[in-house]
Every structure is written in C-alpha cells, then in structure tokens.
Amino acid sequence: MKTALPTIAFLFIVSLFAGAPSVRAQGNARNGPDPEATRDADVEKDSLHNLDVARQYFKLRKAYVAALQRCDEVLAANPTFSKIDEVLYIAGQSSLNLAEGRGKQAASLYTIHDGDKKRALTAEELRERARDYLSQLVNEHPTSTFRDRANDDLKQLGGAKPKAETGKQ
C-alpha cells in the first residue's frame, strides 16, 4: 500500500495538468457560439446559390420580380446567411425598381398571400418594403459594403426606419 500511494498521487497530479489546457481552451465560451460555426453548410450553400441566381436576375436580366422572390426565399430560410446584407440590398433595390415601373417584369407578377387570396402589391407597398429591407441592412449591418448605397436610396424613401420597426416583414 505504501508503494501504491506515491503512484496514485503522481497520476492525480498528472491528470490535473493534462486537463488544464482543455479548460483554458473554453475561455471564450462565455461569448456565445461563433455564428460561423452554427451555420448549416447545406443551407448556406443553398442560400449562396439563390443569391447567385438573384444577382443574375437583378443585374443582367432586370427581372426584379424573380430577384425579389429569390431574396425572399433566402431571408425566410436562412436569416443568419453570411451574405445577408447583399440579399437585403438586392431585395430593397428590386422592390424600389418594381415600385417605379422599371425592369422587364410587371410589378403585378410579385404577389403575396393575403389570407387565402393572392394579391399584387401596390407601388406604395413596394416602396415600403424597399424601405424595410434597406433599413434592416443599414441598422443591422453597419460595416456592409452595401450600406452607403442603401443610405442613398433611403433618402428618397424617407430615411431609414428605427431598428425596432425593421423586423416586421
């Protein structure tokens, strides 16, 4: 028993020091999970595909209804998407362009469900949606490369909405 006691004490001390690095590695756990680590890779890939398609519709085809529908899909399915600021910008610009009668698609093709009926949005409703999207971009993504362009568009829409009002989409 006398020879086993030093061996047990040695093993106990070694186990304390061996566990110390893993405890220190958890030091940032109090900051919450990293958003990058919590994203589902498949959902992120699908969202990136939808964003790429929305870009094509928006820039090349001037098909603002199709671009807005793709953006709405990303916003609904993946609100923590890594490029959500660009999605909000394209959605806002597409809504604004439709309200002003621009593009190759009629604004009446963009419909929403109102109860059990589908209806097209009016130009004023499209402008209000544009303001919502762009305000969300400005309020929630202050370092976005799209922020300055969104601010320019918001000037003609009455400015950005306060942060509490932008989440009502």
**Cα–Cα nearest to 138, from 74, 70, 92:** 92
Quote the CA–CA distance of 119 and 55 in Å, as a whole number. Answer: 25
Instruction: Tell me the mean pLDDT in the region 107-113.
Output: 94
Tell the CATH topology of 39-165: 1.25.40
Asked if 51 and 83 touch (Cβ cutoff 8 Å), the reply is: yes
**Whether pLDDT at 23 is above 90:** no
Asked if 137 and 150 touch (Cβ cutoff 8 Å), the reply is: yes
Instruction: Tell me the mean pLDDT in the region 16-41.
Output: 60
25 vs 120, more confident = 120
CA angle, residues 136, 142, 145, in degrees to nearest 5: 95
Tell me what pLDDT residue 14 has.
Answer: 60
4 vs 148, more confident = 148
Domain assignments of the chain as residue spans, ordered by start:
39-165
The residue type of 158 is G
Quote the CA–CA distance of 156 and 127 in Å, as a whole number. Answer: 10
**Whether pLDDT at 50 is above 70:** yes
**Whether pLDDT at 3 is above 80:** no
Q: Report residue 8 as tokens.
A: 């047990």
Instruction: Tell me the mean pLDDT in the region 113-134.
Output: 95
**Cα–Cα nearest to 133, from 81, 78, 71:** 71
How much is the pTM? 0.76
- Label residue 163 by pLDDT band (50, 70, 90): confident
Instruction: Tell me the mean pLDDT in the region 119-126.
Output: 96
Tell me what pLDDT residue 62 has.
Answer: 97
Cα-based torsion angle of the residue sequence 131, 133, 134, 140 in order, rounded to the nearest 10 degrees:
130
What is the rounded average pLDDT for all residues in the chain? 86
Q: Report residue 125 as tokens.
A: 């409703």
- Label residue 99 by pLDDT band (50, 70, 90): very high
